[in-house]
Structure 1
């Protein structure tokens, strides 16, 4: 086949550290290798908008307490599963579409790779809205087995 007509320069991979995240990470790394692109990862944790009323009333900010551990887990996941240089790792908190778009803008990523279960649930978190209608870059959905 001829030369690739579309060249991606920065690929952002959305993960959630679930069992299927390795498949998504490997697909992103393979694409980055094929294009000679930068590779970054983003994981979006639920923010206060996703917390229950009881958690808010009790003043529990769970994200502040677990963030260092989640960052370590994310770094270990990437180290264990990706054999391509990683430019950046972003652990965000809040509404997924908004946070992913912030990282896309900050990194100038031109392709987002995310997973999608065959039963139409979004892999990177269960949200009421799909990424497809809201991301500001190209989007590749990796089909995952339904659990």
Structure 2
């Protein structure tokens, strides 16, 4: 089986994102592949229905800046160099599909919480990325951090 050449890790910036990035870095290192990371911010006009008479552009810019800072922090933890960090605005699956096509990526890696039943029917980002991707998609099962109460 041929190795991958360009891997994009789609990160939601949750506490579990480091698990996804670690797996992506390990695979990129094993294949000698280029590694890029991406986070997609949903536009506030979509998130709030678009009918609020409030200018949300400053809030959107703050979200973008915070996402860029968090991606930078996460990329410092991975043991493989990250070629590019992308913060995109739109619908996650659509933006990751578009980015993969633009960057000629041959693998998208996303995290999955392993939802079943009704939660799966409501849809998940990893499921949306899988359907319609023009390249392979790897869903990494992320584990919730254990605490003494668990």
Q: Does 1:134 align with 2:132?
A: yes
* CA distances 1:84-122 after superposition (whole Å, capped 9, x unpaired): 111111000111122112211221110001111111568
Quote the RMSD (CA, aligned, Å). Answer: 2.5
**Match of residue 68 from structure 2:** 71
Q: Relative to structure 1, is the Cα distance of residues 24 and 57 closer, same or farther in structure 2, using a 3 angstrom cutoff?
A: same
Instruction: Give the CA deviation at 1:37.
Output: 0.4
TM-score by length of 1: 0.83
Instruction: Give the CA deviation at 1:68.
Output: 2.1
* CA distances 1:3-39 after superposition (whole Å, capped 9, x unpaired): xx22210011011121111110010000001100000
Stretch of structure 1 that moved more, 88-97 or 98-107: 98-107
CA distance in 2, matches of 1:101, 1:145: 25
Aligned positions, number: 140
Matches within 5 A, 1:6-25: 6-25=2-21
TM-score by length of 2: 0.81
Could you list the runs of 5+ residues in structure 2 that have no partner in the other structure? Answer: 146-150
Could you list the runs of 5+ residues in structure 1 that have no partner in the other structure? Answer: none
Partner SS state of residue 71, structure 2:
helix
